[in-house]
Structure 1
């Protein structure tokens, strides 16, 4: 699949990180939209189909776990990567496919612990999208 056919939604409340990840993905010819929180992301999902969701964990209005649960229920074909700076509440390791947060657990394609190498992120995204 040509990268220009792949649509990615980047969700992060940190403007700088959201913009940086979006630009890096656009430079690889992906179609990229961005949202600053989970609620805004769901608005994008209502009008677009995404191949990949790249989401932060801790955001106002709706956290990453709540967003992932909604996406898995309503958009099961979308692959998911979670990014997080970590925290005591998260049980996950870099590269893991299971995230536990409080009483919630979700299966995702990949968990990336911030900070991470951007080339590694691009390589992992490419592998995930080829599955």
Structure 2
């Protein structure tokens, strides 16, 4: 718990109650826990609600975040797959373009356009390097 408060930069307390009829364990201390709880209770309701999260809400938020990450990774993988197939085709391979949906056609178009932009950029760099290394002769 202490590590969590340090890493997150927040005040926290914990009350642990096990199934036996013993006194609960309170961290960091009873007095400090009471102070933190009172500080929390003194906040306006909208501030308290804003800071509250239960396991279900936390899990839903994590799931949404993970789904977004999965979607991004799938798109990146698809882009790489198209790039690999295009390179194989340019090398003379008879690789089959995996076009199954309209989204595949859009992704293929994006990959091809990115190739064209990269080639144009590299050509511009080479032209600039060539013109700067071979200065035009000065006319006297």
Give TM-score, length-normalised by structure 1: 0.20
| Greater fraction of residues in strand | 1
The answer to which structure, 1 or 2, has the higher relative contact order (CA under 8 A, 6+ apart) is 1
Larger radius of gyration: 2
Query: If each structure's helix is expressed as a fraction of its own residues, which one has the higher value?
Result: 2
